[in-house]
């Protein structure tokens, strides 16, 4: 699934946001017109611009244009995109997907060993905010859920809370899932700001990788991260925020996984959900595979103990990014089909499996390293 395409930009020098349509009669000013195979003799000036697979000459009107794009097949009617003067077109929202995420910033104050999208030290916060300030009012009001991710979204500072206020105003019925390391909320005034947003459809997904501070700090490569995260969790609870704990499964987290489960139950009873996440083989992970990779079949016992302990105490628990054939059947009820559609794949072996429709499958980039236990269930 393409989320970024590139062509030749004509007639504009700043980024543009709009929905897309193939209907030249769509008399709404928030649309890009998609032109494939051929170009109309005349295009109304009401369009934001034109995205085309054919070559449009600079003399073609004064409408902003990105021409010579290889394909527009991935775009559906009313998808939202941002077009840049360098010819890049990024998809911001797909109307036919349940897996839409706002990329708040690529900056981060952690540097996790297994980060799937390594942070970039660039000043992108104001630009990202301004882009989404235009895009959010265009999102359909019946949108079920939106993710907010990074980088670390709280590094937006005041603009983070402005973004949340805008989402609450424009999409009051949309569930928001914010992925954050939670460290910023160690400062009470920021937790209080979250409370003031008062959005009961908002969930904060915060990682906690061990019950022992040195392990957590090593994994996230940040001194005092464990203490900041814990303080942040308690500050957020003080302001009645909904929280999910996320644990990525790898060599560094598995040895103390059952201890971590007991620690969460004893010290964080306000947690709404605990998610155990399979490792993504992208970003930093391939470079750190010697200290991260472990075949899922080898940690099934520890994972089972942790999951069943939490569930037995009445806590809601899930397993994400896992293949059913790598886990004992007793854990299947906890497995979720969680991998976003644009990065979800299966092996040829999976085509013969009777449980494929229930299985989460693989991240596309995880196909290069899979469990030795992958086998069709029949």
Looking at 38-157, list the stretches that DSSP marks H as alpha helix, in order from N- to C-terminal side.
Answer: 125-135
Of all residues in the chain, the percent with pLDDT exceeding 90 is 77
Question: pLDDT of 245-300, one tens digit each?
Answer: 999 999 999 999 999 999 999 999 999 999 999 998 889 999 999 999 999 999 99
Phi, psi of 290 (to 5 degrees): -65, -30
Strands 101-103 and 145-149: parallel
Q: Is the pLDDT of residue 315 over 70?
A: yes
CA distance 143 to 140: 6
Question: pLDDT of 156-171, one tens digit each?
Answer: 999 999 999 999 999 9
Q: Count CB-CB contacts under 10 A for residue 29.
A: 11
pLDDT for 255 equals 98
pLDDT for 205 equals 98
pLDDT for 337 equals 83
DSSP class of residue 288 equals G
pLDDT for 358 equals 86
Q: Exposure string (b/e) for 81-116, b if CB count within 10 Å is 16 or more?
A: bbbbeebebbbbbbbeeebbbbbbbbbbbbebbbbb
Q: Is the pLDDT of residue 86 over 60?
A: yes
Q: Is the pLDDT of residue 1 over 70?
A: no
Question: pLDDT of 168-191, one tens digit each?
Answer: 999 999 999 999 999 999 999 999
pLDDT for 55 equals 79
pLDDT band, very low/low/confident/very high, at 314 (cuts 50, 70, 90):
very high
Q: Is the pLDDT of residue 39 over 90?
A: no
pTM: 0.92
pLDDT for 37 equals 79
Question: pLDDT of 342-357, one tens digit each?
Answer: 667 888 888 889 888 8
pLDDT for 340 equals 76
Q: Is the pLDDT of residue 58 over 60?
A: no
pLDDT band, very low/low/confident/very high, at 154 (cuts 50, 70, 90):
very high
Mean of pLDDT over the chain: 93
């Amino acid at each position: 699934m393409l989320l970024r395409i590139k062509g030749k930009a004509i007639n504009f020098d700043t980024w543009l946001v709009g929905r897309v349509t193939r209907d030249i009669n769509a008399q709404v000013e928030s649309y890009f017109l998609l032109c494939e195979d051929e170009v109309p003799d005349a295009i109304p000036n009401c369009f934001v611009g034109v995205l085309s697979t054919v070559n449009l000459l600079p003399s073609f009107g004064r409408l902003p244009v990105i021409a010579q794009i290889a394909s527009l097949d991935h775009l559906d009617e009313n998808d939202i995109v941002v077009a840049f003067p360098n010819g890049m077109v990024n998809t911001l929202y797909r109307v036919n997907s349940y897996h839409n995420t706002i990329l708040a910033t690529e900056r981060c104050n952690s540097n996790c060993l297994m980060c799937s999208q390594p942070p970039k030290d660039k000043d992108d916060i104001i630009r990202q905010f301004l882009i989404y300030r235009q895009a959010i009012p265009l999102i359909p009001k019946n949108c079920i859920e939106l993710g907010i991710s990074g980088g670390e979204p709280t590094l937006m500072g005041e603009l983070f809370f402005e973004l949340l206020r805008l989402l609450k105003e424009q999409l009051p019925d949309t569930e928001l899932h914010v992925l954050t390391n939670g460290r910023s909320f160690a400062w009470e005034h920021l937790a209080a700001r979250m409370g003031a947003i008062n959005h009961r459809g908002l969930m904060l997904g915060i990682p906690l990788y061990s019950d022992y501070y040195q392990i957590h700090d090593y994994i996230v490569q940040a001194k005092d991260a464990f203490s900041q995260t814990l303080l942040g969790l308690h500050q957020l609870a003080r302001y009645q925020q909904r929280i999910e704990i996320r644990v990525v499964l790898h060599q560094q987290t598995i040895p103390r996984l059952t201890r971590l489960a007991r620690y969460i139950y004893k010290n964080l009873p306000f947690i709404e959900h605990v998610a155990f996440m399979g490792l993504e083989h992208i970003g930093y992970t391939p470079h750190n595979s010697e200290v991260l990779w472990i075949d899922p079949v080898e940690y099934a016992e520890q994972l089972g103990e942790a999951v069943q302990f939490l569930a037995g105490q009445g806590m809601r628990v899930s397993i994400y990014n896992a293949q059913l054939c790598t886990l004992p059947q007793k854990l299947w009820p906890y497995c979720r089909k969680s991998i976003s559609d644009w990065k979800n794949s299966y092996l040829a072996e999976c085509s013969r499996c009777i449980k494929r429709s229930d299985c989460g499958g693989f991240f596309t980039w995880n196909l290069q390293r899979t469990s030795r236990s992958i086998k069709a269930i029949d």
